[in-house]
Structure 1
Amino acid sequence: MSSSDFWPTNETDADITQPVQQHWTTERVGWDSPSPGWEVDPDEPPSGNFGRVLIAMGIGSLVAVALGVYGSAHDPTGAAISLAGFSTGLHAKAWLASASFALVIVQLLSALAMWGRLPGVRGGGPTSAWLHRWSGRLAVLISLPVAAHCLYALGFQSFDTRVLLHSLLGCFFYGVFVCKMIVLARDDQKPWVLPVIGGLVFSGLTGLWLTSSLWFFSNVGLQL
């Protein structure tokens, strides 16, 4: 008995009532493909599990709301961090946020290189993956003292449009970052999910820098 008695030999033999395409190939489609005989059509996109994405979004939303509630209920102290080399906590906050923003730009460029979307760069390779991973980790690590200063010393404020937007973006950034970390733990998502969430992380931190560090440097100057 041949394998054709069990598996469709062409697309016209496939049962169109089935939820997945019944077209199999024994051709290898990549180094991380399953064993021969079980690969689906390489043109078939992964089905994904959007339910897990919704769960990740829900958890991220809870984190964002929790930060906003704490920032609103907490009485600001006016001072939180004092780092050597900086004259005030606000100066430290502005420069650390700028360093974090610079690292996020590196992460964006390395992601584009990894996906072959960076002009002039053909195939990012392991170097781009390493750079992407560690620039993201350092960006978040450097941002933590900034977040602590904002929450503990300043709180969630809304006395003008810029400050309100900055407070909202701060909650949004850490919420969507948590969402991204949860999504990263899964490898069965639609191809667009991670780039979209990563883009939201980048947009959130960009907005934070524009409404804080850039405004601070424009009004106070670049001194430490």
Structure 2
Amino acid sequence: MTAVPQQSRGLTPLLVPLLAGGLAALALGVYGRVHTPTGFAVGVAGFSGALPMKAWLTTGAFVLAIVQVVSALSMWGRLGVTIPPGVHRWSGRIAFLLTIPVAFHCLYALGLQYDVPRVLAHSLLGCFFYGVFTAKMLALPKHDTPGWTLPVLGGLAFTALIGLWLTSSFWFFTAIGLKV
């Protein structure tokens, strides 16, 4: 009886996803910096303005990100209860879709700003979020990645989204109020 060598689960399979994620983050940052901001909102239907739209959509994504963490913990057997896999997939899809109009408005109307520390942190977190999200989605179908890949990339996306919520929605709700 001969031993079957275990396949190496090195970092090579992560090269393309991480490179693509880094390029996505960099491209968003460069575009946000070189694009001349228009200064006006686009597509705020149902909201009184761009800031309430962004605050509420980001809050929706924030809540769904918590659903993502809970459902991921369930899928990895850390909760002792089973949540249907569709909950994880669909909460992630909807959370991502909620961020699109927010990111579009941020890039189109405001660009990447660095004058105020909170806004700089928000701008950089936004670029980082889309970069790590890109890397996670590209690493997802790969079965030869290290076992820590999805939890780490998912955790980074979650952390970035929490930072985005704190530097935008939380700030808006505490400074401006609960406007719709």
> Normalized against structure 2, the TM-score is what?
0.94
CA deviation profile, 1:133-168 (whole Å, cap 9, x unmatched): 110000001110000000001100011111110000
Percentage of identical aligned residues = 54
For residue 21 of structure 2, what is the aligned residue in structure 1? Answer: 60
CA deviation profile, 1:91-116 (whole Å, cap 9, x unmatched): 10110011011111101100011112
Q: Which has the higher contact order (CA 8 A, sep 6+)?
A: 2
- 1:140 aligned onto 2:102: no
For residue 38 of structure 2, what is the aligned residue in structure 1? Answer: 77
- 1:196 aligned onto 2:157: no
For residue 89 of structure 1, what is the aligned residue in structure 2? Answer: 50
For residue 173 of structure 1, what is the aligned residue in structure 2? Answer: 129
> Normalized against structure 1, the TM-score is what?
0.76
The CA distance in 1 between the partners of 2:150 and 2:67, in whole Å, is: 17
Offset, 1:81: 2.4
The CA distance in 2 between the partners of 1:57 and 1:189, in whole Å, is: 12
Question: Across the two proteins, how many residue pairs are aligned to each other?
Answer: 180
The CA distance in 2 between the partners of 1:157 and 1:132, in whole Å, is: 33
Gaps of 5+ in 1: 1-6, 9-21, 24-39
Quick check: which one's helix share is greater? 2
Could you say what the CA RMSD is over the residues aligned between the two structures, in angstroms? 1.5
Amino acid at match of 2:167: T
- 1:160 aligned onto 2:160: no
CA deviation profile, 1:29-71 (whole Å, cap 9, x unmatched): xxxxxxxxxxx8xxx7x63241121221111101100000000
